[in-house]
């Protein structure tokens, strides 16, 4: 790292003091054992894609290990330069270290399984992230999301009201889908078999997977519930290195499960969420849990094995491949369950190479999706994953993690592979053989007809497509072809909702969005981002203003657009009748 100076050293001093205290035996061994053999070099996607010697796992670890060598290692304390030891004397050095531990490592652990010693880079990186975070030296998105988990109990700052309204809306969707007006998404039902904890992305932006899960529970005749609190299975404590936050998030979920007296907790498809909830948070919280925790993948396998659900693979005819999320494959031992399910739910399953515990990271791990300052590097190193996907010849990708869905979607767009990515449960739900024929509604409910949507997009084809679709479903539309016009029309027409493109000539959609969220008379208008650019993620994570109400990626799929518009309008305008909390 280059030596810059900031003139202050308080934070550097605190980090140096904290370092030896943070070491446990496993961390000490990881710092002490590396012989710099370089065997792990090309296991890392950062190095593989860039060829940059500063991107090898050992080099990156050495940026922290220098502290170990200087302050802890026996020879290093006498002759630090001889063993590569160096200490931090200026806060500016911490900023450089931040870029290394947050911006060049997704804590995927592929190097660990390649290392003849098993040096755990993720452990060292997380420990360092923790020391930096404690000094406030962390990417903005990590700080915002961590703060939201502390304040609201979920990483997207979803209010209790929005959470319950979304579930009510989803329950309506479920009833439509399965054709049963009694189908339920129960909340806080005591004494049930399963409490289901989810990723807030499923509530806020991508309810398809939660709907799929509800449909599977319905088909299996499961006695289950969503909790009204402690429902977020994600845990930024894992990414920020803050064990206290890790314990807090675990405790929220565990306490509610105990209060409800459930038999087990099932974690929806989220790699780090499952790892944190099942394996890490009990350690952070120092708790022995009175109930087992399993992944929804395991639950679905049990349903298939016991005949509680039946699958018809002809529902998924296109070739599909599976991306193993690092946190499931390398840190939680879940590799066979998704394959079992996909082979039964799809006609043409194709293995990705390498796979299982050797799979490459989606590049969105370790909280990378929330760090937009490193997006361009993330996409550059994603070439490894893009090549892996292309080589399968698959027409769609399945994974079991919401982070991976986002990471893969970004790289697929960037490398123009143009295939969809969905969670495993969505393939399973599509293949479900229901007693009643499923009925997917694209109808706009009567109370939403006549509502107005402002479409802001510089592409005339997109404008025509969106407005035609919305008008065909009874909505009134206004259009604007650039930011200035969009602001003008929004002020004049006060639409019920806005769809907003991000990349437009002149002022960008991000500026328009910030304006909409800051103008008192505009803040009540829900905004759905419709974009082909990946910069929109900063609106979700760097929240100077409240995040968007939804997002849809281009090319826009009609059913997804209609579903999202319906969800946003129903929740924000109609305020679906709240579901009962039993």
379: its two tokens: 């996409």
Among 167, 238, 320, 332, binds other proteins (CB under 8 A): 332
- From ligand SF4, other proteins, none, interface partner of 378 (C-beta below 5 to 8 A by class): none
Place of tokens 């009175």: 290
Rounded least distance, CB 511 to other proteins, Å = 41
1: its two tokens: 């790292």
Rounded least distance, CB 46 to other proteins, Å = 12
Q: Which is nearer to ligand SF4, 50 or 147 (CB)?
A: 50
Burial class (CB in 10 A: 0-12, 13-18, 19+), 434: middle
Rounded least distance, CB 46 to ligand SF4, Å = 5
Residue 507 CA to residue 483 CA, distance in Å, equals 6
- From other proteins, ligand SF4, none, interface partner of 23 (C-beta below 5 to 8 A by class): other proteins
453 upstream amide cis, omega within 30 of 0:
no
Residue 58 CA to residue 55 CA, distance in Å, equals 8
- From other proteins, ligand SF4, none, interface partner of 107 (C-beta below 5 to 8 A by class): ligand SF4
Stretch that binds other proteins, among 280-288, 401-409, 449-457, 560-568 (CB under 8 A): 280-288
404 binds ligand SF4 (CB under 6 A): no
Nearest to 267 by CA among 285, 279, 255: 279
- From other proteins, ligand SF4, none, interface partner of 30 (C-beta below 5 to 8 A by class): other proteins
Stretch that binds other proteins, among 39-47, 395-403, 413-421, 470-478 (CB under 8 A): 39-47
Q: What is the Rg, in whole angstroms, of the alpha carbon atoms belonging to the chain?
A: 24
Residue 464 CA to residue 460 CA, distance in Å, equals 6
73-92 residues near other proteins, rule: CB under 8 A: 74-75, 81-84
End-to-end C-alpha distance for the chain, whole angstroms: 57
Rounded least distance, CB 38 to ligand SF4, Å = 5
393 binds other proteins (CB under 8 A): no
Stretch that binds other proteins, among 117-125, 149-157, 172-180, 533-541 (CB under 8 A): 117-125
Rounded least distance, CB 379 to ligand SF4, Å = 15
The SS3 call for residue 73 is coil
35 binds ligand SF4 (CB under 6 A): yes
Stretch that binds other proteins, among 277-285, 408-416, 461-469, 554-562 (CB under 8 A): 277-285
Half-sphere exposure in the Cβ direction for 290 (13 Å, CA)? 9
Among 15, 49, 58, 144, binds ligand SF4 (CB under 6 A): 58
Strands (E), 390-489: 396-399, 421-423, 452-456, 476-480
**Contact status, residue 370 vs residue 234, Cβ threshold 8 Å:** no
Rounded least distance, CB 224 to ligand SF4, Å = 35
* Cα-based distances in Å from 4 to 8, 19, 22, 53, 136: 11, 22, 26, 21, 19
358-387 residues near ligand SF4, rule: CB under 6 A: 361
321 binds other proteins (CB under 8 A): no
Buried (b) or exposed (e) across 83-106, using 16+ Cβ within 10 A? bebbbbebbbbbeebbebbbbbbb
Residue 503 CA to residue 513 CA, distance in Å, equals 12
Place of tokens 């446990």: 24
Q: Which is nearer to ligand SF4, 58 or 528 (CB)?
A: 58
Per-residue DSSP letter, 570: I
451 binds ligand SF4 (CB under 6 A): no
- From other proteins, ligand SF4, none, interface partner of 556 (C-beta below 5 to 8 A by class): none
CB atoms near residue 290 (< 10 Å): 9
- From other proteins, ligand SF4, none, interface partner of 558 (C-beta below 5 to 8 A by class): none
- From other proteins, ligand SF4, none, interface partner of 448 (C-beta below 5 to 8 A by class): none
- From ligand SF4, other proteins, none, interface partner of 353 (C-beta below 5 to 8 A by class): other proteins
Place of tokens 């991107």: 55
**Contact status, residue 365 vs residue 407, Cβ threshold 8 Å:** yes
Rounded least distance, CB 238 to other proteins, Å = 14
Residue 271 CA to residue 406 CA, distance in Å, equals 12
269 phi and psi angles, rounded to 5 deg = -70, 90
- From ligand SF4, other proteins, none, interface partner of 44 (C-beta below 5 to 8 A by class): ligand SF4
Q: Using CB under 8 A as the criterion, which residues of the chain lie in contact with other proteins when the complex forms?
A: 23-26, 28-30, 32-33, 35-43, 47, 53-54, 56, 58-59, 62, 74-75, 81-84, 110, 112-120, 278-279, 282-283, 286-289, 292, 329-336, 351, 353-358
Q: Using CB under 6 A as the criterion, which residues of the chain lie in contact with ligand SF4 when the complex forms?
A: 34-40, 43-44, 46, 57-58, 60, 105-111, 115, 117, 119, 121-122, 361
């Amino acid at each position: 790292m280059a030596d810059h100076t900031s003139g202050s050293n308080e934070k550097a001093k605190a980090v140096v003091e904290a370092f030896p205290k943070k070491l446990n035996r496993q961390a000490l061994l990881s710092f002490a054992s590396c012989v710099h053999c370089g065997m792990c070099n090309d296991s890392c996607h950062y190095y593989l894609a860039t060829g940059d010697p500063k991107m090898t796992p050992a080099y990156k670890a050495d940026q922290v290990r220098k502290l170990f060598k200087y302050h802890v290692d026996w020879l290093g304390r006498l002759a630090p330069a001889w063993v590569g030891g160096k200490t931090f004397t200026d806060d500016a050095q911490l900023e450089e270290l931040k870029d290394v531990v947050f911006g060049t490592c997704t804590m995927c652990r592929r190097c660990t399984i390649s290392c003849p010693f098993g040096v755990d880079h993720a452990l060292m990186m997380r420990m360092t992230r923790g020391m930096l975070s404690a000094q406030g030296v962390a990417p903005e998105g990590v700080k915002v999301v961590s703060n939201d988990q502390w304040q609201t109990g979920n990483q997207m700052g979803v209010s209790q009201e929005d959470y319950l309204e979304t579930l009510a809306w989803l329950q309506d969707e479920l009833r439509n889908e399965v054709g049963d007006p009694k189908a339920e998404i129960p909340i806080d039902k005591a004494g049930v078999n399963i409490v289901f904890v989810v990723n807030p992305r499923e509530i806020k932006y991508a309810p398809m997977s939660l709907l799929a899960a509800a449909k599977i529970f319905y088909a299996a005749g499961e006695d289950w519930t969503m909790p009204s609190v402690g429902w977020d299975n994600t845990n930024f404590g894992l990414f920020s290195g803050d064990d206290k936050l890790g314990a807090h998030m675990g405790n929220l979920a565990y306490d509610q499960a105990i209060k409800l007296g459930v038999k087990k907790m099932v974690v929806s498809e989220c790699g780090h969420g499952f790892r944190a909830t099942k394996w890490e948070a009990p350690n952070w919280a120092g708790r022995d849990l009175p109930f087992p925790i399993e992944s929804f993948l395991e639950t679905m396998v049990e349903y298939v094995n016991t005949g509680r659900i039946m699958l018809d693979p002809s529902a998924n005819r296109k070739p599909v491949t599976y991306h193993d999320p690092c946190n499931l494959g390398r840190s939680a031992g879940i590799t066979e369950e998704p394959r079992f399910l996909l082979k039964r739910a799809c006609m043409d399953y194709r293995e990705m190479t390498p796979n299982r515990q050797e799979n490459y990271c989606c590049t969105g791990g370790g909280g990378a999706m929330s760090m937009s300052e490193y997006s361009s590097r993330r996409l550059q190193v994603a070439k490894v994953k893009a090549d892996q996907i292309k080589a399968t010849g698959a027409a769609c990708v399945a994974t079991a993690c919401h982070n991976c869905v986002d990471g893969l979607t970004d790289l697929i767009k960037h490398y123009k592979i143009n295939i969809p990515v969905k969670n495993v449960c969505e393939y399973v739900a599509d293949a479900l053989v229901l007693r009643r024929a499923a009925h997917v509604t694209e109808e706009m409910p009567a109370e939403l007809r006549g509502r107005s949507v402002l479409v802001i997009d510089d592409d005339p084809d997109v404008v025509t497509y969106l407005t035609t679709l919305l008008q065909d479903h009874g909505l009134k539309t206004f259009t604007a072809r650039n930011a200035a016009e969009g602001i003008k029309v929004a002020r004049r027409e006060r639409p019920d909702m806005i769809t907003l493109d991000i990349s437009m000539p002149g002022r960008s959609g991000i500026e328009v969005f910030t304006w909409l969220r800051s103008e008192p008379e505009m803040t009540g208008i829900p905004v759905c981002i419709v974009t082909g650019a990946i910069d929109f993620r900063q609106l979700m994570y760097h929240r100077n203003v409240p995040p968007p109400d939804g997002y849809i990626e281009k090319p826009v799929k009609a059913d997804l657009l209609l579903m999202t518009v319906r969800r946003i309008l129903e929740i924000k305008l109609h305020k679906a009748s709240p579901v009962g909390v039993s």
